[in-house]
Each structure stands twice: as structure tokens, then as C-alpha cells.
């Protein structure tokens, strides 16, 4: 079929995006999918033949390439090969998967844990498996897209509260029927702004209105708490969160996602979440790498100390030069630019001076709030 001869909403959307991409390329403003040619020591990368300082990495503790983690992955390949025999429920479960899930549950202080093939899929399937028509889900306005998609997919009544506004959340909870299932969901550290959810107040509201609490800890593991175990340690509120979601692709240098919770919830998800039942299991090397990474975090607490020092220095330096870093408290440091073209121009200038940082523009953030999103590592 010749799509060029068709004029409808789909082809117009494709044409509009192509026009925007072509315009960005012409102005040297296109930074999408930039390929890193080589990872180098000291938070350096080689891009387009140039060595640059890496300020766009999620490897907050610098665990990518850690010898212990690499060796664990190699041993897993030697023992199991590069793949599995199928989905987890049909011959795809390996002992390394069980070991990883036990490690996660211990790390997160829960009874049990379950792993999935990506963080996005984890939120999508867990929310839509636990909630359904007639239930209510309450989501922070700037939660990750995977949370939004999971809420929409669930078919539940979807309510969004203003960012970190607990008064607005309480109003929404108060207006929901008392006898329905309720789930409150928020990022622990917000991926575009770097600020931290008000966990103490959120826990108080969930108890008051009989709601489950689910927290996405993609950006808090390895970042929050003296030992890097996340937001409960940060607030000294162990056991306060019902469903602790996380990824295996940020501080943990692998791929996948997980949920840590009670045995009953995890057993339910093993039998009811479609992404677990119908997706291939994590490759052995990735499961082994993730398993070892959690242990390295606990064995090398100096990495968290160094990350905190580097973050404080970086934010302080930017502020002293007059840059607006918004409300960040963590290793995610937005540098507010305003309009999209300013963000593109600043990115180009940084990269021309061997600083590898990337822009975040609309629609990922509201118009007028385009920024460079820098990340600090240990």
C-alpha cells in the first residue's frame, strides 16, 4: 500500500513528525538516539569520535562495568547460555531468577518479589492486574508515562492530583466511594524534576482512606538512604509502602523491572499479570548481573556517600552561576532553559565542548519548561 497517497489523521501525524525531525536535523538540534561508541573510565564516553564527560547516565553509583557484576554475568552465560527455555511459567524459570527475586525482597525488606522484562512493562501489568473497573487509582500529575498507561489500561476510575500536592490528593480520596478498592501511585524521585515525593503525608492519607500505596523507585534505589535502599530508608519508614516497584536498568546495570510486596500480592501477580505469564524470562546474564549489583550496593556504601557529595557540589555550582535547577534534591538535576530551541541550542553548545548532556522538551515536559536534564554519578 502506498501510504503517501493516503490523507488521514495517521498519515498527517507521521508527516508532521517527519517535518519536525527534518527541521531539527538541519539546525544540528537532533539529539535523539545518539549512539555511544565506547564507555570509558571516569564517567567518560566516546560519541562521534570525541571523548565527553557523561552527564546523561542513569548509572548513579557507577556500577556499569563493575568487575563483580561482569563476572557474575559471564558465569551465568557459561552455566545457562544466553537465553531461557521459554516464559517463566513454562520451563523459563532458572534458579538465578529465584535468587534475584529473593535478593530483591531482602533488599527492599518485603516478604517476596517478582521480576519482569522491563520497568515500563512492570508498571503497566502490575497496575492493570491489581485494579479494574469500579476501582479508583490516584496518580501524581507528573508520574512516569508507564504509570499513566497502566492506570488507563486498568479501566479503573483514574484521578490525577497536582504534583506532590497532598491536600489535593486528600480531596480526591475523600470524594471517592468509601467501599471501593483504591490505589495511590507516585514516583519516589521524579525523573524530570529530581524532587522527592512527600512519603510521610502520603502514607498518612492512605491509612486514613484505606488505600493501597504503590511507589515507583526507579530513581531512588542507590540514591536515597545511607545504604541506598530507597525512599523508606530515606524517611526511616520501613514497611510503609504496600507495593514497591523498581527497575533493573538504572542504578542496577542490567535490564528489567520488579515489584517487592507481601507474599499474597506477589503470588497473585505470578498467576494474574499477563506480562509475567506471556513474556520470555529475563536472560541469565541480566538476572545474574542484577542479583550481584544489589549486593555490591550494600558492600560499597562509599558510592552513595560520593554520589551525595558530587550532587551537592554540582547543584551548588550551577546555582552559583545563575542557573535554575528547579526543586531537585537528588542526582537528577534539571537546568531550566524555557523554550525548546533554547534547550536544543544549549545541548549543542555543551556537546561541542565535550559535555554529553541531553535536552528534555515538550511534550515530555510542559511548553516553556524545556530543560537540560543532567544526571550526577558517583
> Which of 97, 108, 182, 219 is labelled catalytic?
219
C-alpha span between 100 and 293 (Å, rounded) = 10
* CB-based contact 235:199 (threshold 8 Å): yes
Cell numbers for 327, please give them. Answer: 526543586
Q: What is the bridge-based pairing of β-strands 257-261 and 212-216?
A: unpaired
* 201 counts as catalytic: no
Cell numbers for 45, please give them. Answer: 564516553
* 191 counts as catalytic: yes
Cell numbers for 333, please give them. Answer: 538535576
> Which of 108, 144, 244, 250 is labelled catalytic?
250
Lateral strand order in the sheet of 112-116:
112-116, 257-261, 243-247, 212-216, 182-187, 136-140, 157-161
* 5 counts as catalytic: no
Cα–Cα–Cα angle for 313, 319, 321, nearest 5°? 105
Asked, as a colleague might, if the bond just before 213 is cis with ω within 30 of 0, I would say no
> Which of 191, 220, 249, 254 is labelled catalytic?
191
Catalytic residues: 191, 219, 250
Amino acid at each position: 500500500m502506498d501510504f503517501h497517497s493516503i490523507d488521514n489523521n495517521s498519515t498527517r501525524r507521521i508527516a508532521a513528525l517527519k517535518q519536525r525531525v527534518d527541521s531539527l536535523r538541519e539546525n544540528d538540534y537532533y539529539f535523539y538516539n545518539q549512539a555511544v561508541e565506547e564507555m570509558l573510565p571516569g564517567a567518560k564516553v566516546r560519541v562521534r569520535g570525541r571523548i565527553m564527560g557523561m552527564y546523561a547516565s542513569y548509572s548513579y553509583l557507577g556500577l556499569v562495568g563493575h568487575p563483580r557484576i561482569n563476572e557474575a554475568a559471564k558465569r551465568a552465560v557459561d552455566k545457562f547460555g544466553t537465553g531461557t527455555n521459554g516464559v517463566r511459567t513454562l520451563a523459563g524459570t532458572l534458579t538465578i531468577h529465584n535468587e534475584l527475586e529473593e535478593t530483591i525482597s531482602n533488599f527492599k525488606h518485603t516478604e517476596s518479589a517478582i521480576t519482569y522484562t522491563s520497568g515500563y512493562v512492570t508498571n503497566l501489568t502490575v497496575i492493570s492486574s491489581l485494579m479494574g473497573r469500579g476501582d479508583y487509582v490516584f496518580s501524581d500529575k507528573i508520574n512516569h508515562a508507564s504509570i499513566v498507561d497502566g492506570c488507563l489500561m486498568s479501566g479503573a476510575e483514574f484521578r490525577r492530583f497536582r504534583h506532590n500536592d497532598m491536600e489535593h490528593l486528600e480531596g480526591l480520596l475523600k470524594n471517592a466511594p468509601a467501599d471501593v478498592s483504591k490505589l495511590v501511585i507516585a514516583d519516589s524521585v521524579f525523573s524530570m524534576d529530581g524532587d522527592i515525593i512527600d512519603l510521610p503525608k502520603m502514607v498518612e492519607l492512605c491509612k486514613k482512606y484505606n488505600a493501597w500505596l504503590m511507589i515507583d523507585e526507579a530513581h531512588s534505589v542507590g540514591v536515597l538512604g545511607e545504604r541506598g535502599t530507597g525512599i523508606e530508608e530515606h524517611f526511616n519508614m520501613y514497611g510503609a509502602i504496600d507495593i514497591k516497584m523498581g527497575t533493573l536498568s538504572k542504578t542496577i546495570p542490567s535490564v528489567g523491572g520488579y515489584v517487592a510486596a507481601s507474599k499474597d500480592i506477589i503470588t497473585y501477580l505470578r498467576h494474574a499479570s499477563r506480562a509475567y505469564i506471556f513474556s520470555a524470562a529475563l536472560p541469565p546474564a541480566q538476572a545474574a548481573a542484577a542479583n550481584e549489583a544489589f549486593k555490591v550496593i550494600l558492600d560499597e556504601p562509599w558510592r552513595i556517600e560520593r554520589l551525595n557529595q558530587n550532587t551537592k557540589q554540582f547543584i551548588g555550582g550551577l546555582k552559583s552561576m545563575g542557573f535554575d535547577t528547579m526543586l531537585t534534591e537528588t542526582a537528577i538535576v534539571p537546568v531550566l532553559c524555557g523554550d525548546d530551541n533554547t534547550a536544543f541550542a544549549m545541548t549543542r553548545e555543551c556537546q561541542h565542548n565535550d559535555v554529553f548532556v541531553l535536552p528534555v522538551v515538550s511534550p515530555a515536559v510542559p511548553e516553556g519548561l524545556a530543560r537540560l536534564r543532567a544526571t550526577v554519578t558517583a
